């Protein structure tokens, strides 16, 4: 039954993506704020996240998922951008602190472009995953602070260099995937299965 329900929800989306490929192109975004009180980055979240007891990943609406403001389910693509914003924000604050660059406040933002024809299996040539990610910072320094251009450039380069999530995205890590499980047969015998590969 769940399979039929999902197919019924996805069928009109797939038809739309076949008829109008540009309707499958979506930009997800995340942002966070910085302040002078600590080396942290406060993520800006929607109502669904604020109200949730714990984060639950679900399908994006463009893949047949429910409205996240109602279901509380979050798209894992949004969570990836949140991780990038959080890591980059904390890294920038740490580097700025070490370099004596007095940040009063700031905003970190990330946007990522997806083509849902790929993840929905509508077009085998369409990419699965983000095709572009843009990360940016808007900073306000403490009143009277003067920071030379060379120092600003170094702040940017060191933030990029030491941000774990950014570097993980930029440099494909060795990745292994495995799937294991079991099912009990009608005669009470436990049958296991396994699959795996390394990329």
pLDDT of residue 155: 97
pLDDT of residue 88: 97
Cβ–Cβ under 8 Å, residues 88 and 163: yes
Q: Is 188 helix (H, G, I), strand (E, B) or coil?
A: coil
Instruction: Concatenate the DSSP letters of all residues of 81-95 into one string.
Output: HHHHHHHHHHHHHHH
pLDDT of residue 52: 52
Cβ–Cβ under 8 Å, residues 61 and 39: no
| Angle, CA of 67, 130 and 22, to the nearest 5° | 70
Average pLDDT over the chain reads 89
* Residues 14, 5: Cα–Cα separation, whole Å: 14
Instruction: Concatenate the DSSP letters of all residues of 71-122 into one string.
Output: H-EEEHHHHHHHHHHHHHHHHHHHHHHHTT--EEEEEEEEEEEEEHHHHTTS
- Of 153 and 47, the structure prediction assigns the larger pLDDT to 153
pLDDT of residue 116: 93
| Residue 50 clears pLDDT 60, i.e. is over it | no
| Residue 42 clears pLDDT 60, i.e. is over it | yes
How confident is the model over 113-158, as pLDDT tens digits? 999 999 999 999 999 999 999 999 999 999 999 999 999 999 999 9
| Residue positions counted in the chain | 199
| Residue 1 clears pLDDT 80, i.e. is over it | no
pLDDT grade for 38, boundaries at 50, 70 and 90 = confident
| Residue 47 clears pLDDT 60, i.e. is over it | no
């Amino acid at each position: 039954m769940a399979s039929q329900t999902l197919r019924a929800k996805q069928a009109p989306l797939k038809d739309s993506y076949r008829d109008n490929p540009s309707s499958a192109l979506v930009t997800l975004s995340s942002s966070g704020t910085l302040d002078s009180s600590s080396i942290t980055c406060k993520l800006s979240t929607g109502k669904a996240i604020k109200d949730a007891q714990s984060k639950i990943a679900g399908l994006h609406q463009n893949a047949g998922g429910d409205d996240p403001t109602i279901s509380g389910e979050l798209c894992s693509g949004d969570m990836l951008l949140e991780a990038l914003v959080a890591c980059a924000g904390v890294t920038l604050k740490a580097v700025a602190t070490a370099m004596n660059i007095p940040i009063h406040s700031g905003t970190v933002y990330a946007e990522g472009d997806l083509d849902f024809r790929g993840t929905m299996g509508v077009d085998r040539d369409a990419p699965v995953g983000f095709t572009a990610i843009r990360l940016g910072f808007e900073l306000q320094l403490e009143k009277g602070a003067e920071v030379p251009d060379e120092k600003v450039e170094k702040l940017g380069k060191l933030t990029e260099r030491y941000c774990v999530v950014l570097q993980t995205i930029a440099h494909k890590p060795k990745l292994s995937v495995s799937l294991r499980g079991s099912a009990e047969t009608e005669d009470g015998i436990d049958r296991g299965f396994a699959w795996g590969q390394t990329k």
